[in-house]
Amino acid sequence: MRHRTPSLWAVLYLATAVVLFACGIVAPQPPTSQPTPVITPQPTITSAPPPTRTPGPPITLAILPPDLDASFAEDAQARLGDLAQSAGMLFQAQPVLKTAELPPDLAYLIVLTSVSSADVTAIRSHAPDVRIITLAADVLSPQPNVTLLQVPDDAEVQQAFLAGYTAALITDDYRVATMTSSSNEQAAARVDAFRNGAEYYCGLCRPERPPFEDYPLSLPYDPASGSASSTLSGTGVQTVFVPATLSDAQTLTDLVNSGLTLLGTIPPPAELRQSWAASFQPSPVTAIEAAWSSITGTSPPGSVTMPITVRDVNPDLLSPGRLRLVVRTQIDLGLGLIDATSSQ
């Protein structure tokens, strides 16, 4: 039997098939495990709380309007500052009330002028707990934590009495007078009080030399009918009390040019101070000083009456010794120990 040798093509085919098979078969590999990602927690961001303001010492703020007499404003600032410091408070003074700029630690607001109820409401919107001390006015109704500074009901009578006493005290032979511009009941009471004040000091007030007038005098005066000095002509008067209703610049200047010494109820014009002995006016600062312990207490008073005090003193006309007598009389009058409607 004849043995057949495979052909070359068959061998090549077989070899190629083996190679292709070997290349296409890959041993299975175990699956590769992927690492589990680690999640790092992020910190929670919170906003810091706003800083807390540390309260400072309580503050007393005084409003001293620019139209106040300069010497009065200076005296008021010093005395009110002493009150605040004695109570452990800081003190500030301003000429104008600016409600939007009130200090945060404001405890007491002293306003030496009149304010309205609307003003108080605006103040409360910025300083709800502040205690207010201010001049009484028709536009301001009584309110909690508001102390009103009241003018005495008989202020004009007290002023006239003190003017009469002072005039007789500083004038030779008691040659004094008050001017009046009307004959109504109020003017008559003022004239009587002036006479009573003078007689409280000098009794019968009889001069030792002519003219022998019945001092103290009351001189009706109408600015439209002539000069003030002509009204006094021949009377021998040396010192005159001029009520507020007659204290216009022309009248005052005319009296000073006649060589008279004046007493009044308003601050004197600067050019007349050398002839102005003193003024008699309600004192808000004295009232605050007297009532300070009540004002700063748990139940502040709704109102305080201002005493009539002597101001604008010219020491060349009213000496310190005589001023002490006037002040003592003023205190007794305010306490009701003297009846201004009587000369006794």
Q: Which domain holds residue 265?
A: 155-281+309-334
Are 238 and 319 contained in the same domain? yes
Query: Average per-residue pLDDT in the chain?
Result: 87
Are 143 and 245 contained in the same domain? no
CB 75 within 8 A of CB 29: no
Determine the Cα–Cα distance for residues 204 and 67; give it in Å rounded to an integer. Answer: 42
- What stretches of 262-319 show up as alpha helix (H) in DSSP? 284-295
Question: Is residue 2 one of the residues assigned to a domain?
Answer: no
Determine the Cα–Cα distance for residues 147 and 106; give it in Å rounded to an integer. Answer: 16
Q: How many domains does the chain have?
A: 2
Higher-scoring residue by pLDDT: 33, 19: 33
Which of 127, 150, 173 is the last residue before a domain boundary? Answer: 150
What is the C-alpha end-to-end distance of the chain, expressed in Å? 184
Q: What is the CATH number of the domain that holds 137?
A: 3.40.50
Question: Is residue 235 one of the residues assigned to a domain?
Answer: yes
Which of 109, 130, 150 is the last residue before a domain boundary? Answer: 150
Q: What is the CATH number of the domain that holds 161?
A: 3.40.50.2300
Determine the Cα–Cα distance for residues 196 and 145; give it in Å rounded to an integer. Answer: 40
Lowest mean pLDDT among 37-51, 80-94, 99-113, 308-322: 37-51
The stretch 42-50 carries a mean pLDDT of: 68
> Residue 29 above 70 pLDDT?
no
Question: Is residue 89 one of the residues assigned to a domain?
Answer: yes
* Closest to 312 (Cα-Cα) out of 261, 273, 254, 257: 273
Question: Is residue 188 one of the residues assigned to a domain?
Answer: yes
Which of 89, 120, 150 is the last residue before a domain boundary? Answer: 150
Q: Which helix (H) or strand (E) holds 330?
A: helix 320-334
Structure tokens at 271: 């050019």
Are 91 and 225 contained in the same domain? no
Structure tokens at 204: 């019968």
Are 233 and 121 contained in the same domain? no
Determine the Cα–Cα distance for residues 65 and 202; give it in Å rounded to an integer. Answer: 40
pLDDT band at 194 (very low <50, low <70, confident <90, very high): very high
Question: Is residue 260 one of the residues assigned to a domain?
Answer: yes
